[in-house]
Amino acid sequence: MLEVPLIYIKDKQAFRKINGTLKILGNAVEIARKLSREYKLIHIIDLDLKKGNNANFDIYDKLTYFINIQVECDEEKTIERLFGLNARAVVKLPTKLPLEKWNERLLVGIIKNNEDASGVHDVIILKPTKERMEKYKEKRIMVYKEKWDKKTKVWGVILQEF
């Protein structure tokens, strides 16, 4: 099972959320380099990107040289830029994005209920139930550690605290 730390990026800095509050960790590239000693994949929520600011793409470019990353996003141009860097794109399902035009192996879908995940390779199940785990068993399944019962076999666990 793969452990995947979750970091937030804003203004080139890395943060983690503790009790709903962002706590600065430091320079995003340096933090990712330290994490790469222990982890193979980092899940990124880019707070600048959520506001339409692509200022952190230089960071993604640096990160992909030494660690795999997946970035939450919801715009077609952003996904194409991420793929150009060999980064994975994480999209909320359902989506109006043309998933079929991209390499499915680089797409991760966020599942809240019982959405169609046919266009993505991996899924992040926000509310894992026995039924959902069964429905998406053909995919590589990730869950947040806090929601994981430790008995259910998953491909990856997203760590909010590491």
**Residue holding tokens 């960790």?**
25
**Residue holding tokens 């919801």?**
74
* CA-wise closest residue to 144 among 18, 4, 17: 4
Tell me the two tokens of residue 6. 């979750």
Q: What is the pLDDT of residues 81-139, one digit of tens each?
A: 999 999 999 999 999 999 999 999 999 999 999 999 999 999 999 999 999 999 999 99
**Residue holding tokens 């730390």?**
5
In a 3-state reduction of DSSP, which class is residue 150? coil
DSSP string across 60-123: HHHHTTTSEEEEE---HHHHHHHHHTT-EEEEESS--S-GGGS-GGGEEEEESSS---TT-SEE
CATH (residue range 2-159): 3.20.20.70
Tell me the two tokens of residue 105. 């192996």
pLDDT exceeds cutoff 90 at 20: no
Sketch the domain layout of the chain as residue ranges: 2-159
Q: What is the pLDDT of residues 30-85, one digit of tens each?
A: 999 999 999 999 999 999 999 999 999 999 999 999 999 999 999 999 999 999 99
Beta bridge partners of 45: 8
